[in-house]
């Protein structure tokens, strides 16, 4: 692990680990099974050596390790220590322990970690410490704030499902199955809806709004429910610095009409009713927006709901962060990174749908474009020049392709344009437009490169869209061989 932000690929793996763990937790009853699943996933997600789970008894001020993964140092499973000597228990917040660092010294951490770098996060329910999760790092590991956030999110998930042995029964803790489902949601709207419904039920509120930061300085009501709430999609112009300040406070903002506070006035546009709670939504130390839980009357209900909502907001940030990441990954998985055109996967998805429509009577035509002499050009001019040429060709093809159609990179120097509801004649007209645009492009005109085109249209004899692609390739080959090729 390295200090600082988490690399995107690694961040994806962590959210997947949380998603996986959330699914596992909903199906496990025995604590040993739960902790074993927890240890497996944290070890992989953080590249850790071992994972420990402790239960805490505040009456005796003793923490006892209830679970130690198989890779834990020998004898760790029998460790017991004073809870007040553990900073994570004493202060109710995650702690990164670095052996030999006096500033980060923690007596209990030194005992539990056996000389290894570690992260200890409290398992909290309704503000009470039930135990801890300790991640033991490998020698030389450095844990960042993002790592602490991740272990804390995991501890919050565990708090909703089990209590480590050695801690007193918390009884009647808040169920967070809704947020487990939200973390597993494949779309941001699904995640927001589940977060909003969970908050409404947990607090007995009259309205819930999920505000998300948008580019340009505005915030948008991405989810809204309740008669006193603004409509979904409503925007408010508020400085994003205000939200960062909300996150830095590390505590929610209480807004109550009976006790007006000048410090809370800037947040008024985000809430409704007589009393409200506003909590920051954060994922990987990045502020996403705020969760507003609103009450029609001022009767202290907001304050009594605080412990449950704070836990909910933490998991809501993870859910929303994962959903956004999922959307970004999905988008990237459909785009060719060099040209910005659709990739082969995206093309297959598009053609599968359009080919089915063609079977029902809709027209479909493909253009198969091949850059003549590109290999020689790439070798003589260099790869950077070749990449620039490919981007230029893609730029022209994309500019000439309407939204209802699709332009894709099919191979190194091969492209396909799929024309929905178009016949063969329309294909020739489209190729002609591309020809004129390429002739006018400075880089293409000076490169000496040309593109040959093969055309195919749907036929009922074709078994699938692969047959259409092969027909266009064959058309191109015949044109090149016979000298009657359509070259642009």
Q: How far apart (Å, rounded) are the C-alpha atoms in residues 319 and 184? A: 8
User: Per-residue pLDDT tens for 68-116?
Assistant: 877 777 666 567 788 888 888 888 888 887 776 544 456 666 666 667 7
Residues 325 and 399 in one domain: no
| pLDDT value for 64 | 85
Residues 462 and 404 in one domain: yes
Residues 181 and 155 in one domain: no
Query: What residues make up the domain containing 73?
Result: 8-159
Give mean pLDDT, residues 440-463: 91
| pLDDT value for 184 | 46
Residues 309 and 185 in one domain: yes
Residues 90 and 216 in one domain: no
Report the CATH number that the domain containing residue 292 is assigned in CATH: 3.30.450.40
Q: Is residue 431 pLDDT above 60, yes or no?
A: yes
Residues 232 and 196 in one domain: yes
**Count of the separate structural domains present in the chain:** 3
Torsion 241-244-249-254 (CA) sign: positive
Residues 376 and 465 in one domain: yes
| pLDDT value for 172 | 32
Report the CATH number that the domain containing residue 443 is assigned in CATH: 3.30.70.270
Q: Is residue 28 pLDDT above 50, yes or no?
A: no
Label residue 358 by pLDDT band (50, 70, 90).
very high
Tokens of 447: 């490169």
Q: Is residue 178 pLDDT above 50, yes or no?
A: no
Does residue 168 lie within any of the structural domains? no
Residues 94 and 198 in one domain: no
Residues 123 and 89 in one domain: yes
Residues 323 and 349 in one domain: no
Give mean pLDDT, residues 366-387: 90
**In the beta sheet, which residues pair with residue 409?**
415
Q: Is residue 35 pLDDT above 90, yes or no?
A: no
Q: Is residue 47 pLDDT above 80, yes or no?
A: no
Residues 270 and 314 in one domain: yes
User: Per-residue pLDDT tens for 130-156?
Assistant: 888 888 888 777 777 777 777 887 787
């Amino acid at each position: 692990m390295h200090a600082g932000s988490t690399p995107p690929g690694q961040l994806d793996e962590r959210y997947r680990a949380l998603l996986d763990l959330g699914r596992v937790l909903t199906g496990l009853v025995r604590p040993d099974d739960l902790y074993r699943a927890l240890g497996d996933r944290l070890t992989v997600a953080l590249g850790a050596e071992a994972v420990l789970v402790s239960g805490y008894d505040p009456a005796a001020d003793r923490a006892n390790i209830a679970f130690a993964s198989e890779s834990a140092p020998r004898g760790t499973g029998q460790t017991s220590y004073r809870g007040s000597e553990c900073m994570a228990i004493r202060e109710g917040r995650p702690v990164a322990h670095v052996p030999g660092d006096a500033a980060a010294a923690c007596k209990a951490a030194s005992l539990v970690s056996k000389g290894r770098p570690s992260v200890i996060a409290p398992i909290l329910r309704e503000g009470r410490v039930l135990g801890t999760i300790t991640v033991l790092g490998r020698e030389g590991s450095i844990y960042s704030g993002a790592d602490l956030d991740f272990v804390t999110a995991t501890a919050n998930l565990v708090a909703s499902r089990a209590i480590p042995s050695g801690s007193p029964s918390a009884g009647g803790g808040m169920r967070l199955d809704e947020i487990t489902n939200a973390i597993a949601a494949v779309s941001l709207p699904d995640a927001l809806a589940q977060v909003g419904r969970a908050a409404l039920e947990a607090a007995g509120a009259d309205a819930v709004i999920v505000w998300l930061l948008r580019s340009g300085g505005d915030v948008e009501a991405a989810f809204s429910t309740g008669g006193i709430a603004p409509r979904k999609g409503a925007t408010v112009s508020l400085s994003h610095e205000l939200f960062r300040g909300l996150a830095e406070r590390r505590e929610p903002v209480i807004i109550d009409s009976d006790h007006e506070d000048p410090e809370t006035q800037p947040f008024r546009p985000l809430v409704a009713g007589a009393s409200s709670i506003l909590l920051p939504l954060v994922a990987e130390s990045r502020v996403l927006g705020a969760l507003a839980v609103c009450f029609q009357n001022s009767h202290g209900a907001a304050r009594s709901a605080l412990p449950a909502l704070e836990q909910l907001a933490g998991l809501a940030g993870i859910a929303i962060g994962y959903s956004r990441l999922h959307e970004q990954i999905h988008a990237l998985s459909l785009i060719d990174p060099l040209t910005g055109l659709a990739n082969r996967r995206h093309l297959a998805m598009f053609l599968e749908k359009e080919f089915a429509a063609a079977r029902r009577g809709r027209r479909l035509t493909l253009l198969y474009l091949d850059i003549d002499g590109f290999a020689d050009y790439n070798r003589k001019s260099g790869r950077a020049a070749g990449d620039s040429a490919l981007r230029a060709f893609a730029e022209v093809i994309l500019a000439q392709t309407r939204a209802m159609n699709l332009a894709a990179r099919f191979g190194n120097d091969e492209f396909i344009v799929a024309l929905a509801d178009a016949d063969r004649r329309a294909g020739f007209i489209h190729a002609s437009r591309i020809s004129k645009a390429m002739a006018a492009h400075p880089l293409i005109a000076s490169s000496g490169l040309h593109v040959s085109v093969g055309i195919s249209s749907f036929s009922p004899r074709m078994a699938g869209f692969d047959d259409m692609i092969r027909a266009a390739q064959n058309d191109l080959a015949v044109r090149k061989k016979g000298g009657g090729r359509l070259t642009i």
